[in-house]
Structure 1
Amino acid sequence: MRLTPLAVAVLSLLHEQPMHPYEMAQLMRERRTDHHVKVKAGSLYHTVDRLAENRFIEVVGTQRDGKRPERTVYAITQAGRDAVLERARVMLSTPAEEYPEFGNGLALIDELGREEAIAELERRESRLATGVAEDEKILTKLRDRQLPTVHTLHWRYSTARRAFDLQFTRELIDDLKHDRITWPPPTEDGSDDQTG
């Protein structure tokens, strides 16, 4: 079984202690796991079922809270522990080849022309600034909850990336506005040369 990001998140939680899927979902919300892993209730339960079928986790009991339905409690197996630790080693040691859309957009920037490119980048800057402000609020909440900092590293990484993206975008806008970026010369008809 290939460990998806959600499967890694489940095994990571079960590495801490046995729990039922509803508790996993609560912890993922509390730790803002949804910022780097797509978490939906249906996909969480499907992932738990797949991990159990592949013997990476096992049922260790049930819990009942008041009149609520019984909940199945899972624990990580040695096979699951080995698999998630190996995946962690690879993820931490090997830079992944990712293909962010912004990089592809930059490859097309000269197609828009300088003024339109600046306008679109200013829209991006505004959205990123809003995101950075939201990130700060969430980081403050996470600190206030006094979670172990090891459980917020993914969030710190994501917010640092967004802050860098904002800084890069602002510098790019400034470079474009002050003609520090070489642009293709206009063609005879007055439009930008799109061949170079």
Structure 2
Amino acid sequence: MPSAPDPSPKRPANSLALAVLGLLLEQPMHPHAMATALRERGMDRAFKLTTGSLYDTVRALARDGWIEADGTEQVGNRPARTVYRHTAAGREGFTAWLDELIREPSLEYPRFLSAVGYLGALGPVRAAQALRERAAALGTRIAEATEAHRAARQEHGAPRLFVIETEYALAMARAERDWAEGTAAEIERGALTWPRGADEEAGA
């Protein structure tokens, strides 16, 4: 009998575990079906999703008592696949963990936030170019994520609630793109000035 998860010290450390537990709220499924659902909904943009990482995560969740085997499923001549479901303690632990994550903002340390604090080191010309390039890359990602969200809703029939995280990610990406474009424009028109001599030191 699997042991109950300890929600305080034994919570999984990666977001892929959170996604797996979330999928199993909908219905029991095997890892292959999990991977398909995550990709169809564009959730693989939120974390690194590989066959190895997914199976490792499923095994760890089963070992720690969050999920358990619920029989097997076989299609045609393919090998039988183990189907997983929440344990009672796992479901309770997951909803408590999720409630905490949504209610309580936590400090995160993205690399861009660290780097942008030293934007002045690039000099105005190079800084504006870098921000424009970032904004363009974000625009590409936004277009791809928008299409993935459309496909998940229209082609795969995913309810909006099941892909709402994509809406959040798109809102954040649009806000970052708009900030990068706006700041680049300020630099280009001279509204954001560099300290005297700093632009020459940066090679601008």
Normalising by structure 1, we get a TM-score of: 0.90
CA contact (8 A) 2:40 2:151 kept: no
Instruction: Compare 139-148 and 151-160 and name the one that shifted more.
Output: 139-148
Of all paired residues, the percent bearing the same amino acid is 34
Residue aligning to 2:64: 54
Query: Larger relative contact order (C-alpha < 8 A, sep ≥ 6)?
Result: 2
Letter in 2 for 1:143: R
SS at 1:65's partner residue? coil
- Aligned partners of 1:60 and 1:75 also within 8 Å: yes
Equivalent in the alignment of 1:26: 36
Look up the match of 1:152.
163
Following TM superposition, by how much is the alpha carbon of 1:192 offset from its aligned partner in structure 2, in angstroms? 4.4
- Offset at 1:191? 2.8
From 102, 106, 118, the counterpart of 2:112: 102
Opposite residue 155 of structure 1, the aligned amino acid is T
Post-superposition Cα deviations, 1:91-145, rounded to whole Å, max 9, x if no partner, equal 1011121112222222111111111111211211221222222222223222313
Q: For residues 146 and 98 of structure 2, what CA distance do their matches in structure 1 show?
A: 27
Q: Residue by residue, what CA displacement relative to the aligned partner does 1:139-159 show, whole Å, maximum 9, x if unpaired?
A: 322231331101111111111
2:53 to 35, 43, 53: 43
Decide whether the 8 Å contact of 2:142 with 2:170 is kept in 1: yes
| Pair 1:150–1:105, CA change in 2 (3 A) | same
- Over aligned residues, Cα RMSD in angstroms? 1.7
Letter in 2 for 1:48: V
Runs of 4+ more than 6 Å apart: none
**Structure 1 residue matching 2:137: 3-state secondary structure:** helix
8 Å CA contact retained: 1:21, 1:48: yes
Q: 2:126 is paired with a residue of what secondary structure?
A: helix
Q: TM-score scaled by structure 2?
A: 0.87
SS of alignment partner, residue 191 of structure 1: helix
CA contact (8 A) 1:55 1:80 kept: yes
Answer yes or no: is the 8 Å Cα contact 1:35–1:155 preserved in 2.
no
1:65-84 counterparts in 2 under 5 A?
Answer: 65-84=75-94
Name the residue aligned to 1:2: 11
Q: How many residues align?
A: 191
* Residue 191 of structure 2 corresponds to residue 191 of structure 1: no
CA distance in 2, matches of 1:107, 1:160: 23
Deviation at 1:41, TM superposition (A): 0.8
2:5 aligns to what? Answer: none
CA distance in 1 between counterparts of 2:25 and 2:146 reads: 29
Mapped to 2, the partners of 1:85 and 1:151 lie a distance apart of 15
Instruction: Give the alignment of 1:84-99 within 5 angstroms.
Output: 84-99=94-109
Q: Is the 8 A contact 2:42 2:149 kept in 1?
A: no
Give the unaligned 5+ runs of structure 1: none
Distance in 1, matches of 2:123 and 2:184, equals 13
